[in-house]
């Protein structure tokens, strides 16, 4: 029996829909991947005249009088946000898109060319203008003092002062809580085809805007009482450390690990409970490259590996055809997470020890190779390790 015209029209319609869908998905797979929504908070450079009494916006100049703060900041990754090899490798790999300089060098005078407008709605195609005031030394300073402290020719500070050689605008509200960090670290970005919350570089994306905001300054600029400038009166302020994944002690102090052994009849179980005790965001946080691993190895007396296990705590993102936050196994603040390892204590050869290492990874080896980043410092380091001897009877704490 011949199909009715209605049926044939239906088949034609669905065939058309299927091929339209295929074309659409094909485009989603092939189009250039724009993973950034260029938010108002960082779409434009910071434009400010040099404050009266100063000759430049350079940290090296501020540092003549604010020596201790200058030393602290110089050790921080902020001071290397432009020169750092990992950033430079990634920037080159991505084809040096303008969008990167929006946060890594935010002052207008750090830019040889500055965006005066954008051609497209996504703001990924800037209309550039040569900047006659470009200062290559200032560029090298990355997230420099003036990015956080200078607006409209005045220095934003905490205390009124008669002795400062430059105008000070007393605005503690701009230097507390989350406010001074928001524009680069907590930038949001919503778009119809992004089912995720990943601002550029993904940093602390788990923090929601609004509600109770974490005190970034309280943790990352530890409290201190000392003169703000050489020879000045004692002031309440913060040490400019900005420590994170590049500073192992900062990560080590944020993680607590408990070990427990239990006998389950003919098997034995060792439980590792990991708790993020030191942050109000996830551990790890930052770019999706950052991750933690728990590596477990069951060893015989001669060192032979009898069994092993690997747990990964990271954020997984699907990039195509749509950007979707798939899952996130990082440690939530103060929520213990248990990992179990079971084995047969009577197996042969006999297990002699269980080796456990928690490791922090700045990025993984595959990505390091892909972007041709020639690291001089290791890209991962242990934050906790233990060798648990298994010769003693099971039970109690290991």
Q: Rounded to an integer, what distance in angstroms lies between the CA atom of residue 294 and that of residue 361?
A: 11
Long-range residue pairs from 187-192, CB within 8 A, at least 24 positions apart, any chain: 187/39, 187/41, 187/42, 187/103, 188/37, 188/39, 189/36, 189/37, 189/38, 189/39, 190/37, 191/37
CB of 129 to ligand HEC, least distance (A): 19
Pick 183 or 356: Cβ nearer ligand HEC: 183
> Interface residues for ligand HEC in 261-290 (CB under 6 A)?
278-281, 283-287, 290
Task: Show the binding pattern over residues 335-374: x = contacts ligand HEC (CB under 6 A), - = does not.
Answer: ---------------------------x------------
> Interface residues for ligand HEC in 90-129 (CB under 6 A)?
90-91, 94, 97, 99-100, 102-104, 106
313 binds ligand HEC per the rule CB under 6 A? no
Q: Residue 158 has which token pair?
A: 């905490």
Task: Show the binding pattern over residues 205-244: x = contacts ligand HEC (CB under 6 A), - = does not.
Answer: --x------xxxxxxxx------xx--xx-x-xx-x-xxx
Pick 126 or 237: Cβ nearer ligand HEC: 237
> Interface residues for ligand HEC in 139-168 (CB under 6 A)?
143, 145-150, 155, 157-159, 161, 163-166, 168
CB of 384 to ligand HEC, least distance (A): 13
Q: Residue 161 has which token pair?
A: 């002062």
Pick 9 or 226: Cβ nearer ligand HEC: 226
Question: Tokens 């069951």 appear where?
Answer: 298
> Interface residues for ligand HEC in 26-85 (CB under 6 A)?
42, 54, 57, 59, 61-66, 69-70, 73, 77-78, 81, 84
Q: Rounded to an integer, what distance in angstroms lies between the CA atom of residue 168 and that of residue 155?
A: 5
Q: Rounded to an integer, what distance in angstroms lies between the CA atom of residue 173 and that of residue 8?
A: 68
| 234, 225 Cβ separation under 8 angstroms | yes
Q: Report CA dihedral (287, 289, 291, 295) to the nearest 10 degrees.
A: -170
């Amino acid at each position: 029996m011949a199909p009715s015209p209605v049926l044939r029209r239906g088949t034609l319609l669905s065939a058309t829909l299927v091929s339209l869908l295929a074309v659409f998905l094909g485009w989603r797979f092939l189009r250039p991947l724009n993973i950034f929504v260029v938010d108002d908070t960082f779409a434009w450079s910071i434009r400010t005249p040099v404050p009266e009494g100063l000759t430049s916006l350079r940290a090296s100049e501020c540092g003549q009088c604010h020596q201790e703060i200058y030393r602290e900041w110089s050790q921080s990754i902020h001071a290397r946000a432009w020169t750092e090899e990992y950033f430079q490798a990634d920037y080159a790999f991505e084809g040096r898109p303008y969008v990167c300089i929006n946060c890594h060098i935010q002052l207008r005078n750090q830019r040889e060319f500055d965006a005066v407008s954008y051609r497209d709605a996504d703001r990924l195609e800037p209309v550039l203008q040569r900047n006659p005031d470009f200062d290559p030394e200032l560029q090298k300073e990355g997230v420099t003092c003036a990015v956080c402290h200078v607006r409209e020719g005045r220095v934003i500070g905490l205390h009124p002062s008669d002795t400062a050689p430059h105008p000070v605008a007393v605005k503690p509200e701009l230097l507390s809580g989350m406010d001074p960090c928001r524009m680069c670290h907590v930038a949001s970005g919503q778009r119809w085809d992004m089912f995720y919350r990943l601002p550029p570089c993904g940093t602390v994306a788990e923090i929601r805007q609004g509600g109770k905001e974490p005190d970034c300054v309280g943790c990352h600029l530890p409290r201190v009482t000392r003169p703000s400038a050489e020879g000045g009166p004692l002031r309440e302020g913060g040490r400019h450390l900005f420590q994170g994944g590049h500073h192992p002690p900062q990560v080590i102090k944020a993680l607590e690990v408990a070990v427990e052994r239990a006998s389950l009849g003919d098997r034995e179980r060792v439980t590792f409970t990991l708790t993020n005790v030191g942050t109000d965001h996830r551990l790890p946080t930052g770019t999706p490259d950052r991750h933690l691993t728990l590596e477990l190895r069951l060893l015989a007396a001669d060192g032979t590996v009898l069994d092993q296990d690997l747990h990964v705590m990271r954020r997984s993102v699907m990039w195509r055809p749509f950007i979707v936050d798939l899952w996130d196994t990082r440690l939530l603040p103060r929520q213990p997470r248990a990992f179990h390892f079971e084995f047969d204590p009577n197996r042969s050869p006999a297990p002699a020890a269980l080796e456990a290492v928690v490791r922090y990874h700045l990025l993984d080896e595959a990505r390091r190779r892909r972007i041709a980043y020639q690291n001089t410092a290791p890209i991962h380091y242990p934050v906790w390790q233990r060798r648990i001897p298994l010769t003693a009877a099971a039970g109690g704490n290991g």
